């Protein structure tokens, strides 16, 4: 089995609702960031995963518009930037 097949099989084996981060695949298979995202994109096109977004300790959301532009922190208001947003891929049932 080649590496591409192993990665997709790994993704497909996750339970429904499991969030896969690009860094998970980087660590597990020694991929580059670009390779990890390519595999997750293939899995998304195949219906294995859907894109999710998260800000700090808030819940995962399906739409970037659900991420607030400003959040309150212990130091006061914080303007959210792209660096603050975590991107994940939620394992779904194949449609």
In this predicted model, what pLDDT tens digit does every residue of 34-53 receive, in sequence order? Answer: 999 999 999 999 999 999 99
- Residue 40: how many other CB atoms lie within 10 Å: 24
Domain count, the chain: 1
| Residue range of the domain that includes 53 | 3-91
Q: Is 17 left (phi over 0), alpha (psi -120 to 50) or beta?
A: left
pLDDT 10s per residue in the chain (95 long)? 788 899 999 999 999 999 999 999 999 999 999 999 999 999 999 999 999 999 988 999 999 999 999 999 899 999 999 999 999 999 998 65
Query: Residue 78's domain is classified under what CATH number?
Result: 1.10.10
**pLDDT, position 83:** 95
Q: How far apart are the first and last CA of the chain?
A: 25
**pLDDT, position 39:** 96
């Amino acid at each position: 089995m080649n590496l591409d097949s192993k990665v997709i099989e790994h993704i497909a084996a996750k339970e429904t609702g499991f969030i896969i981060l690009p860094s998970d695949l980087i660590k597990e298979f020694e991929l580059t960031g670009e390779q990890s995202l390519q595999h997750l994109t293939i899995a998304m096109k195949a219906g294995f995963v859907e894109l999710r977004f998260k800000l700090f300790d808030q819940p995962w959301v399906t739409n970037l518009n659900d991420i607030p532009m400003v959040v309150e922190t212990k130091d006061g208001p914080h303007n959210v930037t792209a660096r603050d947003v975590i991107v994940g891929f939620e394992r779904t049932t194949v449609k």
